[in-house]
Amino acid sequence: SAVSAAGLVGDRYYRNRMYDRYVVYTNLYVDDLAGQPITWRDGLSTEFVNANTGQGYLFDGRVIDLATLSPIGQWPAACVLGYDAERGLLFGKREGSLYVIAERGG
């Protein structure tokens, strides 16, 4: 069992909790600044939380709105290696290819 910090957006803190033994369980927890739970979603975890856009990027390529935890689109799923918040660019790698992805699309 492990917890990975996903990020702070506004007054909410997002974190993943994963359990991997004979089966894999993933959960996304949303807490307030005092650490009190607001909600959680079974089977959901984010690879990257973008505080600029209020979006979470999932391992399978889905993009969720963090305020509602609802899917809002797709992105070219890649392992996030870096983020340039000033320019709004994510840098990722998938199958040996480098991806430079604009956080606002396009």
Task: Check: pTM over 0.85? Answer yes or no.
Answer: no
CA 73 vs CA 11, 21, 49, 62, 76: distances in Å = 24, 31, 15, 6, 11
Q: How far apart are CA 41 and CA 53, in angstroms?
A: 20
One pLDDT digit (tens) per residue for the chain, 106 residues: 444 556 889 899 999 888 888 888 889 999 999 999 999 999 888 888 998 999 999 888 899 999 999 999 998 888 888 889 899 998 989 899 998 989 887 5
Question: What pLDDT sits at residue 77?
Answer: 81
CA distance linking residue 90 with residue 48, whole number of Å: 10
